[in-house]
Structures are given as C-alpha cells and as structure tokens.
C-alpha cells in the first residue's frame, strides 16, 4: 500500500509540470501582439501574391482567423521551400508555417504537425494525346482514368513534379521505372507539360483544381485525374518545443472545421474563380 501510494505521488509529480506549464509561444504572441506565419510563395490560391482585395489566399485567411481569435496583428512571410519554413520555426522567427504542407514521417524530424485542415491526394494533368482513344460509336459509362494508378497501363508516359515533395516520393515508389523529372517549383514542373517536354504533370488535387480555375481551356488538351489514391494531410507546422501551442492549434482547427468555417474557405477558393486575376487586372 505504501509503495502504491508512493507510485501515484511520483506519477502525478511528473505529469503536473507538463500540464501546468503555459505555452511560451502563445505568451510571446500575446506580449508582442503579433502572430508571424510563413506561407508558400508559389502556391496560389493558398497564398496569392498581389492578390485581389478580400482574396489573399486560403492559408492567409486561415492564419488571419487565428490571429483574430487572439486579437493580434498578422505578419505573413512568403517562403519557397520546406527547409526554409523549418529553419524559421526553429529560430523562433515564425510561430506557424501555414503553407499547404503535406505532413510526413521524414518531415517530422524537423517540425511538429497539427491535425490536417485539408486532405488532398496525388493528382495529375495528363496529355490527351498519350491516352488511348475512347471507343467510337459507344456511350462511355465508365471513366477509364480515375486515379494516377490507372496510368500504369499506359506506356510512354513521362512525369514532371515538384522536387522532394510528397507527390515526388509517391511517383518514385509507384512508377519506379518511369521517367520522372523534378523541379524547384510546381509552376516550373507544369510549364514542362505545356512545352511538351513531359506528358503528365503531377501535383496535389487542390493545385490541379486551381490550375483549371485559372485556365479552364486546359481541359481541351489535358485530362485531369483526381481520384483518391492516398490521403495527403495538409497541416500546419510548428517548432518542436511547445506541445501546449500544438494543442491550442489542434483545437482551433477542430473548431474551425466543426463550425463549417473551413468549408467556407474551400468554397471561396476552390468552388469559385473570383480570386483569379483577369488579364486586365494583372
């Protein structure tokens, strides 16, 4: 009985400091009255450079909602690579990376991830010229190419993709013998498709949807393939030193989704093209 009582005392003595400590990150945000987040410079409509009024990008709107919850100013820093996001978090120069980042075990070595605020899947735009023609004189009731996996039956496909991304890793594992070319930005990878240097561009489903909103005529030359093959969790990233802050963010994301506010943002940017700048506005 004495041993059991002593064990309980030790157990709660160890746990109590963990649950009683306050978040140093939140304390800093409240003290400075500024929330600093990094976003992906080349990933509209998650972040839109020189954006239309009221359409700064989904990630910026999401960050603004969190800043407004704490009644602080929002500072946004556009960056280009995951490594840059991770370094800024580690140095304490940003508190959150909200950049359309897919979580992974490899990236967990550098940052902590929140619960996903969006779930995507590897998707593609593939040149219609490389695909077999549909049977003539028949009513086609089954789509031949629903997911990227369906492209395994097509020979001669070459792929372009963002370097070191989750989609890049997926391609290497799924199509080990295929020609896969990776690029520093998704835009550069997509341009290779337009130049006919490759015949399939791979990105997450939200990126493909955004491309089709900006240029609906792409459907004439390219087939969008966006069926789910694996879940890609788009999450926020934070430094690996403040579990309490991670808990706060997770609860915020949960409530933002539960109340329908996340769906409102998805509809704003992926069910409408109002964020797209016309030629006269560029």
Q: What is the mean pLDDT of residues 83-89?
A: 96
Q: Is the pLDDT of residue 7 over 70?
A: no
Tell me the CATH class for 122-225. Answer: alpha beta
pLDDT, averaged across the chain = 89
Instruction: Yes or no: say if 117 and 234 are a contact pair by the CB < 8 Å rule.
Output: yes
Q: Is the pLDDT of residue 204 over 70?
A: yes
Query: Which CATH superfamily is 21-119+232-281 part of?
Result: Periplasmic binding protein-like II (3.40.190.10)
Q: Domain spans of the chain?
A: 21-119+232-281, 122-225
Q: What is the mean pLDDT of residues 66-81?
A: 96
DSSP state of 155: S
Q: What is the mean pLDDT of residues 1-13?
A: 44
Instruction: Say whether 122-225 and 21-119+232-281 share the same fold.
Output: yes
**Strands (DSSP E) found in the chain:** 34-40, 73-79, 96-102, 112-113, 118-120, 122-127, 158-162, 179-183, 200-204, 222-225, 232-238
**Residue reference for tokens 């359309």:** 100
Q: For the segment 176-189, what is each residue's pLDDT rounded down to a tens digit?
A: 999 999 998 899 99
Kindly report the length of the chain: 282
Q: 244 CB contacts (<8 Å, ≥6 apart)?
A: 21, 22, 23, 25, 26
Residue 193 confidence (pLDDT): 98
Q: Is the pLDDT of residue 239 over 80?
A: yes
Return the structure tokens found at 94. Answer: 């940003």
Q: What is the mean pLDDT of residues 183-196?
A: 95
Percent helix, strand, coil in the chain, to 5, is 45, 20, 35
pTM for this model (two decimals): 0.84
39 Rama class: left (phi>0) / alpha (psi -120 to 50) / beta: beta
């Amino acid at each position: 009985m004495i041993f059991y009582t002593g064990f309980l005392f030790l157990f709660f003595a160890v746990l109590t400091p963990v649950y009683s400590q306050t978040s140093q990150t939140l304390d800093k945000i409240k003290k400075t009255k500024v929330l600093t987040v990094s976003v992906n410079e080349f990933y509209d409509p998650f972040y839109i450079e020189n954006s239309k009024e009221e359409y700064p990008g989904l990630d910026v709107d999401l960050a603004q909602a969190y800043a407004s919850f704490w009644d602080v100013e929002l500072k946004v820093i556009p960056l280009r690579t995951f490594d840059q996001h991770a370094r800024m978090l580690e140095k304490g120069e940003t508190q959150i990376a909200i950049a359309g980042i897919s979580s992974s075990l490899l990236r967990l070595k550098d940052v902590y991830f929140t619960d996903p605020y969006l779930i995507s899947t590897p998707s593609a735009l593939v040149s219609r010229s490389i695909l077999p023609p549909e049977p003539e004189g028949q009513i086609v009731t089954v789509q031949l190419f629903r997911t990227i996996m369906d492209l395994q039956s097509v020979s001669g496909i070459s792929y372009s993709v963002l370097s070191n991304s989750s989609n890049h890793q997926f391609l290497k594992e799924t199509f080990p013998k295929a020609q896969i070319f990776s690029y520093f930005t998704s835009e550069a990878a997509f341009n290779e498709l337009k130049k006919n240097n490759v015949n399939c561009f791979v990105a997450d489903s939200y990126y493909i949807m955004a491309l089709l909103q900006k240029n609906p005529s792409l459907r004439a030359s390219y087939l969008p393939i966006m069926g789910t093959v694996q879940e890609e969790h788009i999450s926020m990233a934070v430094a690996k030193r403040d579990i309490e802050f991670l808990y706060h963010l997770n609860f915020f994301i949960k409530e933002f989704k539960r109340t329908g506010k996340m769906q409102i943002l998805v509809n704003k940017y992926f069910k409408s093209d109002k964020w797209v700048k016309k030629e006269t506005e560029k």
